[in-house]
Amino acid sequence: MSDNDGKKTLGVRGGPRSGNVKQSFSHGRTKNVVVETKRKRVVVPKPGAANSGAGKSGQTAGDPSRRPAGISDAEMERRMKALQAAKAREVEEAATRVAEEKAREEERMRRREEAEAKEREEREREQALKARAEEEARKKQEAEDAAKRAAAAAAAPPEDGEQKTPARAQKSAPTGGAAAPGRKKEREDDRTRSKSRDDGRRSGKLTVNQALSGREGGRTKSLAAMKRKQERARQKAMGAPVEREKVVRDVRVPETIVVSELANRMAERVADVVKSLMKMGMMVTQNQPIDADTAELIVEEFGHRIQRVSDSDVEDVIQHVEEDEGDLKPRPPVITIMGHVDHGKTSLLDAIRNAKVVSGEAGGITQHIGAYQVKTESGSTLTFLDTPGHAAFTSMRSRGAQVTDIVVLVVAADDSVMPQTIEAINHAKAAKVPMIVAINKCDKPAADPNKVRAELLQYEVIVEEMSGDVQDVEVSAVTGQGLDELLESIALQAEILELKANPDRAAEGAVIEAQLDIGRGPVATVLVQKGTLKQGDIFVVGEQWGRVRALVDDKGERVQEAGPSVPVEVLGLNGTPEAGDVLNVVDTEAQAREIAEYRESAAKDKRAAAGAATTLDQLMQKAKEDENVKELPILVKADVQGSAEAIVQAMEKIGNEEVRVRVLHYGVGAITETDVGLAEASGAPIMGFNVRANASARNSANQKGVEIRYYSVIYDLVDDVKAAASGLLSAEIREHFIGYAQIKEVFKVSGVGKVAGCLVTEGVARRSAGVRLLRDDVVIHEGTLKTLKRFKDEVKDVQSGQECGMAFENYDDIRPGDVIEIFEREEVERNLE
């Protein structure tokens, strides 16, 4: 007896071939009988062994002949248990499905019963209404018959000795008592006659008796109608299609329309419309939209008339009418002060207004559009717009030029023509408005007005001193020199223009600036161009709308109305409009809301279309570009809309093909907790321009580690963002060649490999430097040195003219005559220009 893998084997000798019989045991139970002969080994199943393990593992587990080779009893039992568990799960799932199906069927039956009950109630209600209507009609008819009988009895003489008089009939009619037998008979006769009249009306026939007795009832069908009805019935009986008269409709079609809606508006079958579209090659369903051009073809094919409408038709309520010359009245001119930064524009306007606006500007630089009204000594009123001169405020200068009548170009006599001066000239020419050149700072010793006049010639601005048509005045905001001449020149130019407007129409104006005031809400500075803006007017401006709650003039005083060329602050908007938007007064609040919603939807679609790739190639190209470009995300909050736009435009100009600045969000008003949440999610800093974060936003920023930076001068903001973006640029790698060495001989050294015996021909060879192997002036390998030895010592560098031994890191293909180029790499930081 021997032990073999946990089984006991009993050997029995004997038999005709002297074979060995072994009986296997497993855990005390007899499994099989194994007979070993000299030629082969035979496994004989023991009777009853197939069912011995059926209680646990089934027939397969107890019968090794049916079990796959190499699988133990425990594994087989585990598999059989898993199979039984799977079957049990299947049974449970089937029972669950049956229960769910039964529940669904019950729910369907319940809903069907509810629908049937509802339909039955509706049917009963309709029948009751119909019965009530019939009863009312019958009573009405009886009343009319009674009235006719009373009239006939009054007109006819009494017959058969009947002595009933009209007075007695009238007296007996309202009594409401029991009717006499004669009255009952009359009522029965009336009902019979009424029924016969109804039968006659239904049949469409008119007899002579009915015509003579006047009991033909109501209006009957004509003979032609009867013929048409008989013809339709005959055609229907013969199986011919009954053609009805075509009704041509006016179909209103917007820019896009759903197929089912188009069929509904034409009163045609949806299947017919879909079939027509499929004939045109468009495989669409009834719920898919089609464009207006396709809808026009379908409408014309069905024989209807099309009326093209657009979503923009909601703006038709804004009236653009030609003004009558008799209604026009003189209005003050609008003068825009333009020029380069720090050339004294605001100071010049302060001198005219006797105010100190420049002292309130951060850094002495104008960063908003200011609108003011000035009354001259002669009594005339002038409206001035003061625009910023910094390079970032291009859009503000452009808006100032578009709403103005006269441009005053301020040029410093000691600084001459500068980039923003040229830009202001281009804006004035694009707006086609006259220009007056004010040469400022003439009181300074370095002032040279003639140089300014000469340089303006390059830009086709020829002043009167140079025999041109552009007025020029030498002024000084400090001493007041030439201010009277400047005002006189402006008044002369305004008189030539003959500026007029109609103050008695609906107001129209332009938004000069907009901001979100903490106490007053959204506030817009509006320059009224036409009509008169009054308190209580309902208006729409860009994507916003509102009702004029208050009007504040440039001196901070409340006014009831503002006429043409008057700048006012408007309160009562539902949101902050964009600077440059047009304000229009409308009749109702519903119109204003509808126009604003349409404009907002159109702007959203436009932004989505601009940011979306139209084709797969464009999408892949954009993804590839975005993958290679690093972005610096920022959030911008400013005090007014114009400043926010200027900052965003300046941010878009920062960057190159490797890095760019991405403005996640910009707006006006204080920094809120929502801004901090967006900045945290995007990993972006918040740039506040003349605004501050409220208490909750500050606490949230401290907790979340969001950086908030405050600025009052746009120079500093642009420079800081540019420096931060420069940090995203990868350093530039520059190579400096420090030496060359020529391989004289190659040696094999055990443990090192091939070592080149070299002579340094130029410069120096350093252990830490990079090397290139050149063979016939072609680079074969580039890497680093594994060893640099002189004689038997490891050295850091070898000077020119000395011999040394070099071995390359992980490279052995070196030959005599090759040249080794030694170089060093240097990282240089890059900056955005």
Q: Which amino acid is at 139?
A: K
Sign, CA dihedral 188-194-197-201, equals negative
Residue 544: CB atoms within 10 A of its CB come to 23
CA 293 to CA 552: how far, in whole Å? 49
CA 524 to CA 513: how far, in whole Å? 6
Tokens 């074969």 belong to 780
What are the structure tokens assigned to 55, written together?
A: 């209680």
The DSSP code for 244 is P
Whether the Cβ atoms of residue 764 and residue 823 lie closer than 8 Å to each other: no
CA 197 to CA 138: how far, in whole Å? 13
Phi and psi dihedrals of 154, rounded to 5? -70, -35
Which stretches of 441-537 are assigned E, i.e. beta strand?
A: 471-474, 500-501, 508-517, 521-530, 533-534
Please report the pLDDT score of residue 358 as a whole number: 43
DSSP, collapsed to helix, strand or coil, labels residue 36 as strand
Whether the Cβ atoms of residue 17 and residue 38 lie closer than 8 Å to each other: yes
DSSP, collapsed to helix, strand or coil, labels residue 109 as helix
Sign, CA dihedral 293-299-303-307, equals negative
Please report the pLDDT score of residue 67 as a whole number: 63
CA 583 to CA 576: how far, in whole Å? 13
CA 647 to CA 636: how far, in whole Å? 8
Put residue 701 in one of left, alpha, beta given phi > 0 → left and psi -120 to 50 → alpha.
Answer: alpha
The Cα-based distances of 495 to 54, 331, 488, 608 in angstroms read: 117, 11, 10, 48
DSSP, collapsed to helix, strand or coil, labels residue 250 as strand
What residues does 384 pair with on adjacent strands? 335, 372
What are the structure tokens assigned to 531, written together?
A: 């009509």
The DSSP code for 214 is T
Please report the pLDDT score of residue 832 as a whole number: 64
Please report the pLDDT score of residue 317 as a whole number: 66
**pTM of the entire predicted model:** 0.50
Whether the Cβ atoms of residue 636 and residue 644 lie closer than 8 Å to each other: yes
Whether the Cβ atoms of residue 518 and residue 670 lie closer than 8 Å to each other: yes
* Neighbour-count burial for 410-433, b at 16+ CB within 10 Å, e otherwise: bbbbbbbbbebbbbbbebbeebeb
The Cα-based distances of 645 to 219, 264, 399, 713 in angstroms read: 76, 47, 12, 15
Strands 778-790 and 770-775: antiparallel
Helix axes 292-301, 270-279, angle to 10 degrees: 110
Lateral strand order in the sheet of 659-668: 659-668, 630-638, 686-689, 708-711
Residue 661: CB atoms within 10 A of its CB come to 21
**pLDDT profile of the chain (833 residues), mean per 10:** 42 42 42 44 44 44 59 86 92 92 90 88 87 87 84 61 42 42 56 50 55 53 81 77 73 88 91 92 89 90 86 68 78 86 80 56 45 78 72 53 81 84 83 87 85 88 86 87 86 87 88 82 88 92 91 87 90 86 88 88 74 56 64 87 83 80 86 87 88 89 89 84 77 83 88 86 88 89 88 87 88 89 81 63
Residue 207: CB atoms within 10 A of its CB come to 12
Contacts of 779 (CB under 8 A, 6+ apart): 772, 773
Strands 7-13 and 2-4: antiparallel
Q: Length of the chain in residues, anyone?
A: 833
Whether the Cβ atoms of residue 689 and residue 793 lie closer than 8 Å to each other: no
CA 344 to CA 357: how far, in whole Å? 12
Please report the pLDDT score of residue 396 as a whole number: 55
Please report the pLDDT score of residue 533 as a whole number: 92
Please report the pLDDT score of residue 149 as a whole number: 81
Please report the pLDDT score of residue 570 as a whole number: 92
CA 649 to CA 634: how far, in whole Å? 13
Task: Count CA atoms closer than 13 A to 789's CA, side-chain side.
Answer: 13
Tokens 């405020």 belong to 393
CA 164 to chain centre: 89
